[in-house]
Amino acid sequence: MLNDIMQSLLTSLYPLLKESYALDFVQIGLLTFAFQVTASLLQPAVGVVTDRWPMPFSLPVAMLSTCAGLLTLAFANSFPILVLGACLIGIGSAIFHPEASRVARVASGGRHGLAQSVFQVGGNTGTAIGPLLAAFIVIPHGQASLGWFSLIALAGFAILSFVSVWYTRHRRSMAGRPPASRAFPLPRRQVFFTLAVLVVLTATKNAYLASISSYFTFYTIEKFGVGVQDAQLLLFLFLGASATGVFFGGPIGDRFGARVVIWFSILGVIPFALMLPYANLVWTSVLVVLIGFIFSSAFSAIVVFAQELVPGRVGLIAGLFFGFAFGFGGIGAAVLGLFADREGIEFVYRICSYLPLLGLLTVLLPRLPRARTA
């Protein structure tokens, strides 16, 4: 939660940065691109390395990188410095997520879906709190007030130091046990094909969610004429619903299977996404809550499904999916910025409403062997 509070402040500040630095939508998209693609390129590599050589104390190091990014954003005086700050936050994310996901799985007691949901709902809660802090602290007091949030980073550093000590002791206690099986539960070709389908589903989901998290404040301001603080509150509704969806997705996946949750989440959001561009302000508020809840419930299920599909490679899978989620969201934000400048922000939302239709690829997901699922 603390980690993602700091990361979400970047997107929450876009209206302030756009006005202060006279940025266009392409530059806004490039800031998201710098943050998310930095995380995307590094996370799978970090996951591979930590699968082979676990690094418990990389967690507090990640928090220091995020802190440095925040301080850079607080005192930036040009667009390139803003990009540098976004990259430092992205590096912190890349180091944090693979190892943190592994610790969550280790602590799960076998309830992997629940563990991923609790882990991710902390992140989503932090992401939802970020716009509120931006609306009531940073917007009134200016860009330099971002420096105050370095205290959150120091708190996160202290907490993760204790977590790293616990994880180190756990590894020592497990040192005499045989390693977990790394055998694929399905034929190798089918495993790689299924991973590709999961990656496409993740890409589709995050490209759509990027259109909301990066541009929803501009959309509501332009279409409905609301103020910046009201737009931030609407964004909070979406992000809060996303956090709730993540929380319920994992336990339901433990009970009924990750594949069922993926089906419900990816396909269930289609009608609401198609209605959103044509709704009034009241129905827009309702629809973004439904979209955030339903769509976000899939991610923990996708991660658990992939971890069961490729056992013994928790860091790689976490890095791949968290990294790809960030990376494709960044690419989507940059491309959407081009369309927003040329065609208008409402046109972007009409185009994005069709993205969830790619979720029909869910039909290609196989059933995992029952013992593996259990």
Q: How does DSSP assign 251-285, residue by residue?
A: HHHHHH-HHHHHHHHHHHTHHHHHHGGG--HHHHH
Residue 371 has pLDDT above 90, yes or no: no
Architecture of domain 2-373: Up-down Bundle (1.20)
Instruction: Please name which of 160, 182, 175 lies closest in space to residue 51, comparing C-alpha atoms.
Output: 182
How does residue 327 score in pLDDT terms, banded at 50, 70 and 90?
Answer: low
Query: What does the alpha-carbon distance between residue 33 and residue 27 come to, in Å, rounded to a whole number?
Result: 9
**pLDDT (average), residues 330-347:** 79
The pLDDT assigned to 370 comes to: 58
Where along the chain do its domains lie?
Answer: 2-373
Q: What tokens were used for 2?
A: 């603390």
71 Cβ contact partners less than 8 Å away, ≥ 6 residues apart: 85, 146, 147, 150
Angle of helix 314-343 relative to helix 79-106, nearest 10 degrees? 150
Output the CA torsion sign for 230, 27, 276, 325.
Answer: negative
Mean of all residue pLDDT scores within the chain: 82
Whole-model pTM above 0.75? no
Token pair 């997107």 is found at 11
Helices then strands (H, E): number in the chain?
17, 0
Give the number of other Cβ atoms within 10 Å of residue 154's Cβ: 13
Q: What tokens were used for 266?
A: 């990816």
Environment class of 361 (CB within 10 Å of its CB; exposed 0-12, middle 13-18, buried 19+): middle
The pLDDT assigned to 34 comes to: 84
Condensed to tens digits (0 to 9), the pLDDT of residues 95-149 reads: 888 888 888 888 888 777 788 778 877 887 787 788 778 878 887 887 888 888 8
Name the percent of the chain in helix, strand, coil, to the closest 5: 85, 0, 15
Instruction: Please name which of 238, 230, 184, 222 lies closest in space to residue 340, comparing C-alpha atoms.
Output: 222
- Residue 360 Ramachandran class (φ > 0 left, ψ -120 to 50 alpha, else beta): alpha
- Residue 181 Ramachandran class (φ > 0 left, ψ -120 to 50 alpha, else beta): beta
* 33 touches 90 (CB < 8 A): no
